[in-house]
Amino acid sequence: MKRNLLTFLAAVLVFSGLSACEKKVPVEEEKPAQTPQNTSIEPKTVVEPEEKSGLKIFYAGHRGSDREKEFVEFLQKHFAQVETGDLGKFDGSQADGVDVTILDYDGTAPEPSIPADYTAATITMGVTGARICSSLGLATGYL
């Protein structure tokens, strides 16, 4: 249980500094007041990590959706092993052998069958996360 908590906290720290589902828009650096001679603004360069985290990730989401594709692409840039599955078929057993499970869906999500004794390090996203957490009686569900 302690390992799961530490793994979960590590994943939260990694994800808190990264934005998975937003399109990247170059951020403009502050420049001195522009004059006709100085009209171009250079975007900041995004620095990718030099090596991937050794964490194994399981992403259960909306199979074939753009959201799944973009999220998995993002995860594969930062983690050594990324597996995917359908949220509607998630029953907890898919979390065996991975470090962190991510449950996500765009649109009206199916109800996964999560057993009461499920203890894997898991990140739930958006409305899907709130519904899952509410069904399990967790504080992060709908209030």
**CATH number of the domain at 1-11+54-143, please?**
3.40.50
**Domain segments of the chain: what residues?**
1-11+54-143
Burial of 82 (0-12, 13-18, 19+ CB in 10 A): buried
CA 75 to centroid of chain Cα atoms: 7
Structure tokens at 134: 């509410």
Q: Which distant-in-sequence residues (6+ apart) come within 8 Å of 69 by Cβ?
A: none
* Tens-digit pLDDT profile for residues 83-106: 999 999 999 999 999 999 999 998
Residue 73 backbone class (left: φ over 0; alpha: ψ -120 to 50; beta: rest): alpha
* Tens-digit pLDDT profile for residues 118-143: 899 999 887 788 888 887 788 777 66
pTM metric for this prediction: 0.64
